[in-house]
């Protein structure tokens, strides 16, 4: 049987797949089973931030695989410790909990916020506020935190303790004064919800309100993190710091990882036995992530900003583009019939994504300029 038929018969039908079987990749180029080449502006949904088969990442993962693949969290191991230190030194956060996905990173953040509040104020203050059109994951709690009613349909009863407020509306947040709130969770740029960056004035006011009410501010940087927006984490462009930062996707360079970073206020909340993960902090995954983080230096971040400006210039001059949104190399394009355009691009050898009814670009941070120019030639042709 053909791969498509085996998959269609045996894999749970939760994904609407593109009609392409990918077989291998190198940098920002992917190849299907017939050898057809694609330029990739999706990066495995912001995962392959350094492209496919990044040499330092491959080397780190291979070496660690041959040395020590797994230890359990009953023992120390070097890659986990070094990755936690590197993340803290680059962000100013104090400690890190490792898991295996974005949803798990957010689960940990939610547990931390509730425990912080419980330890100080007792029961009845466990509500987490999230923004309309947010996306925080697919587990039952992070799905509930996700502010999109359509995604909740059919999964009742959802856990209690979540409420939603409109994005960029500080008065709506201020009106949440019933005394039952412990935290606010938000993406700095809403990804799945349509590539919408939050207003800096709103984010600063949100930070101030969290301080005033002793709420934990959780920044979900699963998609915006790891260089995607032009700084290591997007909050670093807003001039304020969260109490908890979650990340995943691009940190692993292609292997599953989640990281929940705590500041001085939250780093002591989850003590021994309060949380855990069998695979969290896995040596192979952490060795790979260290190789990724090492490469997201000032030079690469400057490249991200330059490439983002180049893409925006090309799009601004392009017919068929109604508006451009996002930050850095997280780009939303308002246009007609985005899904048809995804298919038209694929026919021409270009892979792009959608977010709601927009086209979405998440190219590798290090996409070679020549590949990017060729990709934009195809994209602008399709858009026009």
Ligand X SMILES: *Cc1c(COP(=O)(O)O)cnc(C)c1O
CA dist 291 and 252 (Å) reads 9
- The count of residues interacting with ligand X (CB under 6 A) is 15
Annotate each residue in 235-254 with x if it binds ligand X (CB under 6 A) or - if it does not, as one string. Answer: -------------xx-----
- Write down the least CB distance from residue 285 to ligand X, Å: 13
H/E segment holding residue 197 = strand 196-197
Q: How far is the CB of 229 from ligand X (least distance, A)?
A: 12
What angle in degrees, to the nearest 10, is found between the helix axes of 369-383 and 338-347? 130
Distances (CA, A) of 31 to 25, 60, 366, 377: 6, 24, 19, 19
**What is the rounded CA–CA span in Å between residue 93 and residue 279?**
23
Q: Is the dihedral of CA 49, 50, 55, 57 positive or negative?
A: negative
Quick note: the x/- pattern for ligand X over 157-196, rule CB under 6 A, is ------------------------------x---xx----
For ligand X, which stretch binds (CB under 6 A), given 219-227, 275-283, 318-326, 345-353?
A: 219-227
Query: Backbone phi, then psi, for 208, in 5-degree steps?
Result: -65, -40
For position 48 contacting ligand X by CB under 6 A, the verdict is no
Q: Which listed residue (40, 220, 243, 371) binds ligand X by CB under 6 A?
A: 220
Per-residue DSSP letter, 275: -
Q: Residue 245 forms beta bridges with which residues?
A: 219, 261
| 223 contacts ligand X (rule: CB under 6 A) | yes
The residues with which 128 forms a beta bridge, in sequence order, are 162, 183
Among residues 216 and 378, whose Cβ is nearest to ligand X? 216
Binding mask 89-118 for ligand X (x = CB under 6 A): ------------xxx--x------------
In this complex, which beta carbon is closest to ligand X, that of residue 51 or of residue 191? 191
Using CB under 6 A, which of the segments 74-82, 130-138, 176-184, 207-215 binds ligand X?
130-138
């Amino acid at each position: 049987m053909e791969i498509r038929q085996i998959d269609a018969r045996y894999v749970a039908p939760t994904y609407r797949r593109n009609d392409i079987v990918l077989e291998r990749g190198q940098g920002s180029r992917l190849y299907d089973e017939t050898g057809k080449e694609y330029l990739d502006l999706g990066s495995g949904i912001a995962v392959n931030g350094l492209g496919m088969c990044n040499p330092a990442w491959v080397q780190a993962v291979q070496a660690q695989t041959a040395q020590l693949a797994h230890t359990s969290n009953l023992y120390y191991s070097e890659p986990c410790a070094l990755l936690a230190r590197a993340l803290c030194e680059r962000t100013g956060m104090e400690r890190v909990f490792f898991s295996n996905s974005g949803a798990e990173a957010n689960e940990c953040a939610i547990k931390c916020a509730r425990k912080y509040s419980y330890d100080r104020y007792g029961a009845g203050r466990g509500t987490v506020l999230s923004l309309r059109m947010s996306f925080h994951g697919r587990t039952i709690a992070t799905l509930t935190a996700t502010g999109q009613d359509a995604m909740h349909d059919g999964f009742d009863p959802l856990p209690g303790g979540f409420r939603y407020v409109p994005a960029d509306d500080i008065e709506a947040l201020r009106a949440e004064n019933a005394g039952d709130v412990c935290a606010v969770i938000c993406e700095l740029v809403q990804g799945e919800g349509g590539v919408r960056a939050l207003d800096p004035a709103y984010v600063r006011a949100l930070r101030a309100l969290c301080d005033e009410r002793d709420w934990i501010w959780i920044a979900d940087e699963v998609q915006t993190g790891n260089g995607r927006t032009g700084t290591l984490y997007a909050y670093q462009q807003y001039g304020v710091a969260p109490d908890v930062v979650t990340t995943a996707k691009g940190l692993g360079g292609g292997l599953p990882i989640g990281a929940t970073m705590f500041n001085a206020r939250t780093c002591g909340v989850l003590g021994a036995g309060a949380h855990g993960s069998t695979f969290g902090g896995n040596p192979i995954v952490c060795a790979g992530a260290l190789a990724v983080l090492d490469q997201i230096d000032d030079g690469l971040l400057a490249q991200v900003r330059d490439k983002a400006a180049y893409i925006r210039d090309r799009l601004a001059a392009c017919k068929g583009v109604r508006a451009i949104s996002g930050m850095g190399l997280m780009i939303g394009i308002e246009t007609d019939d985005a899904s048809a355009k995804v298919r038209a691009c694929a026919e021409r050898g270009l892979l792009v994504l959608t977010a709601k009814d927009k086209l979405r670009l998440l190219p590798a941070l290090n996409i070679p300029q020549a590949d990017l120019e060729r990709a934009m030639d195809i994209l602008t042709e399709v858009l026009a």
